[in-house]
């Protein structure tokens, strides 16, 4: 019992540090890459850090019509739930900290939490813009949960069908790269799922082209319209950490490969190699699913978002699931 | 409210139009294009005064816009700067002594930096921002 508490405390502290630092780095790289793609020089890599510092020192306004406790609790709730995801995600080939306790379904629900916290915060801030933003966020969530759910089901089905124990556990999925388990049809199926995952990622992270809930030019930053100072800084932290969580999930599901077994070196060097390889994977996935998406496309309207996720995403994932089942039965 | 070093490196800008002819607004948009790229200094345009550090005011402040400008000013969390873009906001410009004006801007809210011109070029707007940064640095030294 004490052991697990100790593990939890150390885990939470180190994961919080990882979430904050990693979130800053990944946001900095994302902004820099986006700038380079638009033929700009772009901000410094540590720009998110300056933004955060500045926000922390600014006045924290609680609007007159807000419900103060929900309004102030929402950013903390968002950040805390992202850190909770970290406890269940395998990083760089290491087992998740809370292995044996949570599975994919739990992560799916936890991923919805930061968005829900933003919705609560939006409603609680008592601004009409934030209310519209919150409603849009909920509609977007309803949209992307369908493909995301279908992806999770496909993975669990394949794992169960391959006769592995604990099909929903991320540890099982990480230990058995999915591409090794399936035949040609299955590979096509999982490529479809990967594409769907890439389309779901920006909406999960409220990035363009699916950022209708925060539309700067029409909704005056939507959900976050009334937030300032410390609370806004907290939301930035949560968004940065959530980026890592979401990309980490994509990597854990689709690219759980490790390379250190090919090197004849001792364990510490192996760990370094693993971590570096993991960082490269994360940045590659980030480039495709966040930066490229948001630079190459303009914002969709909220009706189009739902249409894309239900029609296109739904068809893609169910076709993928069908192909995977076909492959399994062959 | 103390002014942190980080403020210099991350100025977020909110733009209020208080009755300008849109000339200045277009120049502001020109100043944030890739050619001038103010994001390399951490400057970005935000959509709500609550996130802003700098309020860019264009236009001469018509009677109708006076309350709105005041409201935006009070909505912006401290510490904040006000920049006036264009001859209109500086003195009334082409609308000098018009019966529809409550401005120029510095009759309504305290102004830190003036950028004259009708409209000012993007270069002058960026120069104005640099002047604002210098002013911040001076305040920090004290
Ligand atoms: S200063 Fe000139 S360009 Fe700018 S708003 Fe006034 S009239 Fe238009």
Burial status of residue B99 (CB atoms within 10 A of its CB: 0-12, 13-18, 19 or more): exposed
- Judged by CB atoms closer than 8 Å, whether chains meet at A59 and B47 is answered as no
Whether ipTM tops 0.90, in short, is: no
Average pLDDT, chain B: 84
pLDDT 10s digits, B36-60: 888 888 888 888 888 888 898 888 8
Average pLDDT, chain A: 82
In chain A, what are the domain boundaries? 2-329
Give the largest Cα separation in chain B, rounded.
43
Cα–Cα distance, A315 to A306 (Å, whole number): 13
The tally of CA atoms less than 13 A away on the side-chain side of residue A121 is: 29
Q: Does B138 touch chain A (CB under 8 A)?
A: no
Q: A interface mutation test: which of B38, B47, B71 has the most A CBs within 10 A?
A: B47
In chain B, what are the domain boundaries? 3-141
pLDDT 10s digits, A21-52: 888 888 888 888 888 888 888 888 888 888 88
Ligand 1 neighbours by CB, cut-off 6 Å: B 20-21, 23-24, 58-59, 86-88, 93-94, 118-119
Query: What residues of A are in contact with residue B45 (Cβ under 8 Å)?
Result: 216
Q: Does B47 touch chain A (CB under 8 A)?
A: yes
Residue bearing the CA closest to ligand 1, atom 8: B21
pLDDT above 70: residue A99: no
Mean pLDDT of B108-129: 87
Query: What residues of A are in contact with residue B77 (Cβ under 8 Å)?
Result: 58-61, 228-229
- Starting at the earlier edge strand, list the strands of the sheet with B54-58: B44-45, B12-17, B54-58, B81-85, B113-115
Task: Report the top-level CATH class of B3-141.
Answer: alpha beta
Closest CA to A288 of A251, A234, A325: A251
Q: Count chain A–chain B contacts defined by CB atoms under 8 A.
A: 85
Own/partner contacts of A159-165, CB < 8 Å, gap of 24 or more, are A161/A328
Query: What residues of B are in contact with residue A229 (Cβ under 8 Å)?
Result: 77
Burial status of residue A261 (CB atoms within 10 A of its CB: 0-12, 13-18, 19 or more): exposed
Which positions ≥6 away from B62 have C-beta within 8 Å?
B18, B19, B100, B101, B102, B103
Residue A181's pLDDT band (boundaries 50, 70, 90)? confident
Across the interface, of B6, B48, B53, the residue whose CB is closest to A221 is B48
- Judged by CB atoms closer than 8 Å, whether chains meet at B37 and A217 is answered as no
């Amino acid at each position: 019992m004490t052991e697990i508490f100790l593990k939890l405390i150390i885990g939470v502290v180190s994961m919080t540090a990882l979430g904050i630092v990693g979130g800053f780095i990944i946001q900095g790289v994302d902004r820099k890459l986006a700038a380079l793609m638009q033929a700009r020089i772009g901000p410094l890599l540590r720009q998110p850090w300056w933004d955060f510092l500045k926000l922390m020192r600014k006045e924290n306004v609680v609007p007159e019509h807000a419900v103060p406790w929900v309004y102030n609790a929402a950013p903390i709730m968002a950040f805390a739930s992202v850190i909770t995801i970290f406890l269940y995600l395998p990083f760089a080939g290491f087992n998740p900290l809370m292995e044996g306790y949570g599975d994919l379904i739990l992560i799916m629900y936890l991923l919805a939490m930061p968005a829900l916290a933003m919705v609560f915060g939006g409603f609680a801030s008592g601004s009409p813009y934030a209310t519209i933003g919150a409603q849009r966020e909920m509609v977007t969530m309803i949209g992307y949960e369908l493909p995301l759910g279908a992806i999770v089901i496909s993975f669990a089905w394949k794992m169960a069908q391959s006769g592995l124990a604990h099909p929903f556990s991320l540890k099982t999925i990480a230990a058995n790269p999915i591409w090794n388990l399936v035949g040609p049809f299955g590979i096509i199926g999982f490529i479809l799922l990967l594409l769907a995952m890439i389309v779901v990622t920006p909406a999960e992270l409220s990035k363009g082209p699916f950022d209708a809930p925060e539309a700067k030019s029409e909704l005056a930053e939507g959900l976050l319209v009334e937030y300032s100072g410390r609370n806004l800084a907290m939301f930035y932290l949560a968004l940065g950490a959530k980026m890592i969580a979401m990309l980490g999930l994509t990597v854990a599901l689709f690219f759980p490969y490790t390379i250190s077994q090919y090197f004849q070196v001792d364990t510490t060097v192996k760990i370094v190699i693993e971590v570096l390889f993991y960082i490269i994977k994360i940045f590659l996935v980030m480039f495709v699913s966040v930066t490229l998406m948001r630079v190459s496309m303009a914002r969709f309207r909220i009706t189009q978002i739902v249409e894309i996720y239900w029609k296109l995403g739904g068809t893609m994932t169910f076709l993928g699931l069908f192909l995977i089942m076909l492959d399994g039965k062959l | 409210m103390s002014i942190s070093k980080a403020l210099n490196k991350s100025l977020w800008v909110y733009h209020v139009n208080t009755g300008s002819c849109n000339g200045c607004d277009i120049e502001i948009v020109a100043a944030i294009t890739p050619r001038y790229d103010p994001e390399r200094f951490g400057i970005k345009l935000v959509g709500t005064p609550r996130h802003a550090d700098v309020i860019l005011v264009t236009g001469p402040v018509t009677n109708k816009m006076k309350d709105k400008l005041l409201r935006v000013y009070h909505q912006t969390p401290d510490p904040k700067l006000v920049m006036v873009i264009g001859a209109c906001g500086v003195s009334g410009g082409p609308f000098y002594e018009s019966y529809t004006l409550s401005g120029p801007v510095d009759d309504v809210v305290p102004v830190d930096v003036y950028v004259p011109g009708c409209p000012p070029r993007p270069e002058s707007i960026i120069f104005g921002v640099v002047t604002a940064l210098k002013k911040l640095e001076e305040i920090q030294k004290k």
